[in-house]
Amino acid sequence: MKVKSSIIQNKFLRVQTLNYGASLFEIYHKKKKINLILNLGSKKNYCFKHASVGSTCGRYAGRIANSKFKIANKKFILNANEGKHILHGGKIGFAALPWKKINHSKDKIIYQLHSRDNDQGFPGHLVVNCTYKIKGKFLIIKYEYKSNKSTHVNLTNHSYWNLEKNKNNMIYNHELKLNSNKYLLVNKNLIPTGKFKNVKNSIYNFLKFENIGNKLNYFKSKNLDIKFKGFDTTFVIKKNSRNLVASLKSKVSNIQVDFFSNLPGIQLYSAQNLNYKKKLFPYQGICLETQYFPNSPNKKNFPSTLIRPNKSYSSTTKIRIK
């Protein structure tokens, strides 16, 4: 299927989306004249394997250990794509599939995907709607989904944010604040162990605005595997009345984006593994993925991602762009 783009806009923002992966291709700040996210350049590139740039990750965003889980004592074996583990839904996840555009107006677009029973090993025929809507200075992302069987679902948008006009500046001058005082511990394969750790007195403390470049220099000074030379970390969101989970800003462009979500976690990825056809490079963008926790299907102490047959579910993330 051909890659097709669509635009929604108002006087503040112009957002360009793609049917492949229900992807965000451009979030354009009209006053500053800056696109705030990375993309693959040519839209044709979205037909081929890439690092989920701007795309919707599913059926399960993040990792599931050993590519398996049980529902009601029945074991399901999933389509491993990271060694023996599964990441972002498997070898052919939602980011790699063409979605159908079912609604489009000036400020809203809805994409739909049918994921068949046993798709990548997951049970149930799952129907997903992905809505992008602009309201004032907000970009709203809403996922609605329903399955005919019990299954696990975790959906997120995987945009790489860079708030500066010159994307070659990387993200070193950006500052980040997270409404989180603990994060998930992981093993050598970046699989959550089920344990939590307080951010106090650690490199993971973003309770106030912190310079990302300074944090990354700490990792880069260590003798670590590249996947650990930065953040690929799930932060647990503190409860608050406004659902504010994260704020990212650049003093160079004087732009700030605030993320609001009703989900329990946010995945911070500093793109240390990003590399695409000499167009995209490590640390060129930063992902702030609102979601449930990775490996939740195998951890009873994590918020459940199990959905029941023929019941409707939804999640919403609101992004305020100043």
The reported pLDDT for the residue numbered 36 is 98
The reported pLDDT for the residue numbered 226 is 72
CATH of domain 5-321: 2.70.98.10
**Tens of pLDDT, residues 250-301:** 999 999 999 999 999 999 999 999 999 888 999 999 999 999 999 999 999 9
Rounded to whole angstroms, what are the CA distances from 33 to 23, 26, 167, 212, 250? Answer: 21, 12, 13, 24, 15
Average pLDDT over residues 135-143: 98
Average pLDDT over residues 90-114: 97
The reported pLDDT for the residue numbered 51 is 84
The reported pLDDT for the residue numbered 221 is 81
pTM score: 0.96
CA-atom Rg of the chain in angstroms: 18
Pairing mode, if any, of strands 182-186 and 192-198? Answer: antiparallel
Task: Give the pLDDT band of residue 115 (cuts 50, 70, 90).
Answer: very high
The DSSP annotation for 110-174 comes to EEEEEE-TTGGG--S-EEEEEEEEEETTEEEEEEEEEESS-EE-B-EE---B--SS-GGGTTTTE
Burial pattern 3-33, b for ≥16 Cβ within 10 A else e, equals beeeebeeebbbbbbbbbbbbbbbbbbeeee
The reported pLDDT for the residue numbered 239 is 82
Average pLDDT of the chain, as a whole number:
95
Q: How far is C-alpha 202 from the geometric centre of its chain's CA atoms?
A: 24
Please give the share of the chain, as a percent, with pLDDT higher than 90. Answer: 90
Rounded to whole angstroms, what are the CA distances from 219 to 112, 184, 230, 269, 307? Answer: 40, 18, 6, 13, 38
Return the structure tokens found at 205: 């403390």
Amino acid of residue 207:
L
Torsion (CA) 165, 155, 288, 167 in degrees, nearest 10: -20
Average pLDDT over residues 95-123: 98
The reported pLDDT for the residue numbered 241 is 66
Range name among 41-50, 70-79, 148-157, 176-185 with the lowest pLDDT average = 41-50
Task: Give the pLDDT band of residue 50 (cuts 50, 70, 90).
Answer: confident
For the chain, the domains span 5-321
Nearest Cα neighbor of 259 from 177, 322, 319, 206 is 319
**Tens of pLDDT, residues 197-245:** 999 999 999 999 999 999 999 888 877 777 788 999 999 999 876 899 9
